[in-house]
């Protein structure tokens, strides 16, 4: 992303954002209204930016004819997703595989593999509408990974998952990040600490801080004596990074230099 700008009527959601992501699991943190969902939606090519350039897998998404190429290699789980009430889990994930233009011969096995990876193999022929909220969320994860995408975008993926399911999802994230670029927007810093290789903190549409979870925790340790809020080091680091960014008006790293 270069100079990425998103405006919603009179509100600036993203303000001249410059960011790049490579393989691995990237946590996207920030307060409500920081611009996280706007960023994810632009990367998923479901929303157009007001300005700037976005390039995914070497393709300029500002060109309509390039978006199809990108979408076939993307996986996307929004905060809320729709499905036809009569679909079973198998039918819904297969439908998404069809939308991704997967080969007909490959799709059935890919659907079963994706559903199995989220722990719903025994519910694959169950109507989605009869599942619990946490199970529906896992169906959403399955549809996002069915095409073995090179870029995965998750917006609050663990909402509705119980603690055991969240642990399993973190393990899946680490597995996916070994071969793909995974971006996870979340409010849960423990998910970031457990699964992410890099953290980007966004505030008011700008990058407030970037670094590793370990660096954010170290920032929290050093800020602990100063009274930064948070129950653990990474939460205190999150608070300290936000405060430093707001005080200085510049993006910060652990070393305090603009990025």
Tell me the per-residue pLDDT of 132-178, one tens digit each, with 9 for 90 and over.
999 999 999 999 999 999 999 999 998 888 889 889 999 999 999 99
pLDDT at 145: 97
The proportion of the chain whose per-residue pLDDT surpasses 70, expressed as a percent, equals 93
Distance CA 21, CA 19 (A): 7
Q: What is the mean pLDDT of the chain?
A: 89
Phi, psi of 185 (to 5 degrees): -90, 125
Question: Which residue intervals of 154-212 are DSSP H helices?
Answer: 163-177, 189-195
Asked if pLDDT for residue 112 goes beyond 70, the answer is: yes
Report the candidate in 107, 112, 110 with the shortest Cα–Cα distance to residue 123: 112
Cα–Cα separations (whole angstroms), residue 79 to 140, 147, 166, 204: 10, 20, 16, 20
pLDDT score recorded for residue 65 = 84
Q: How confident is the model at residue 254 (pLDDT cuts 50, 70, 90)?
A: very low
CA angle in degrees (0–180, nearest 5) for 31-9-188: 15
The number of C-alpha atoms within 13 Å of 111 and in the hemisphere containing its C-beta is 23
CB atoms within 10 A of CB 57: 15
How far is residue 102 CA from its own chain's centroid? 23
Strand 181-185 vs strand 151-155: parallel, antiparallel, or unpaired?
parallel
Helix/strand/coil (H, E, C) string of 80-139?
CCCCCCCCEHHHHHHHHHHHCCCCCCCHHHHHHHHHHHCCCHHHCCCEHHHCCHHHHHHH
Q: What is the pLDDT of residues 22-56, one digit of tens each?
A: 999 999 999 888 999 999 999 999 999 999 999 99
Query: What is the structure's pLDDT at 124?
Result: 98
Q: What is the pLDDT of residue 143?
A: 97
**pLDDT tens track for 57-111:** 999 998 888 888 999 999 999 988 888 889 999 999 999 999 999 999 999 999 9
> Which has the higher per-residue pLDDT, 10 or 127?
127
For residue 70, what pLDDT is reported?
Answer: 93
Given a cut of 60, whether residue 255 has pLDDT beyond it is: no
- In this prediction, residue 230 carries a pLDDT of 64
Give me the DSSP letters along 177-188: HTTSEEEEE-S-
Torsion of CA 31, 76, 22, 187, to 10 degrees: 20
Spell out the domain ranges in the chain: 4-212
**Spatial separation of the C-alpha atoms in residues 208 and 248, rounded to whole Å:** 10
Superfamily of domain 4-212 in the CATH hierarchy: P-loop containing nucleotide triphosphate hydrolases (3.40.50.300)
Closest by Cα among 59, 68, 35 to 49:
35
- Residue 239 tokens, joined: 């608070």
SS3 1: coil
From CA 143, how far away is CA 25, in angstroms rounded?
A: 19
């Amino acid at each position: 992303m270069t100079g990425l700008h998103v405006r919603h009527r009179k509100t600036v959601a993203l303000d001249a954002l410059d960011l790049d992501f490579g393989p691995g699991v990237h946590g996207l943190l920030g307060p409500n209204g920081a611009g996280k969902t706007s960023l994810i939606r632009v990367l998923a090519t479901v929303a157009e930016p007001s300005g700037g350039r976005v390039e995914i897998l070497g393709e300029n998404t500002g060109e309509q004819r390039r978006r199809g190429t990108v979408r076939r290699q993307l996986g996307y789980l929004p905060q809320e997703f729709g499905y036809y009430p009569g679909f079973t889990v198998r039918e819904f994930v297969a439908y998404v595989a069809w939308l991704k233009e997967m080969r007909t011969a490959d799709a059935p096995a890919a659907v079963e593999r994706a559903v199995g990876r989220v722990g719903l193999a025994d519910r694959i022929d169950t109507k989605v509408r009869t599942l619990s909220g946490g199970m529906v969320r896992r169906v959403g994860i399955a549809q996002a990974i069915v095409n073995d995408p090179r870029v995965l975008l998750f917006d609050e993926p663990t909402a509705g998952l119980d603690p055991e399911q969240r642990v399993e999802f973190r393990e899946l994230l680490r597995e996916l990040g070994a071969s793909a670029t995974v971006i996870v927007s979340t409010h849960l810093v423990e998910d970031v600490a457990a699964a992410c290789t890099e953290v980007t903190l966004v505030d008011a549409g700008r990058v407030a801080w970037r670094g590793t979870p370990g660096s954010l925790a170290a920032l929290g340790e050093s800020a602990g004596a100063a009274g930064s809020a948070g129950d653990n080091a990474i939460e205190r680091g999150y608070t300290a990074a936000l405060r430093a960014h707001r005080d200085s008006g510049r993006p910060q790293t652990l070393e305090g230099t603009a990025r």
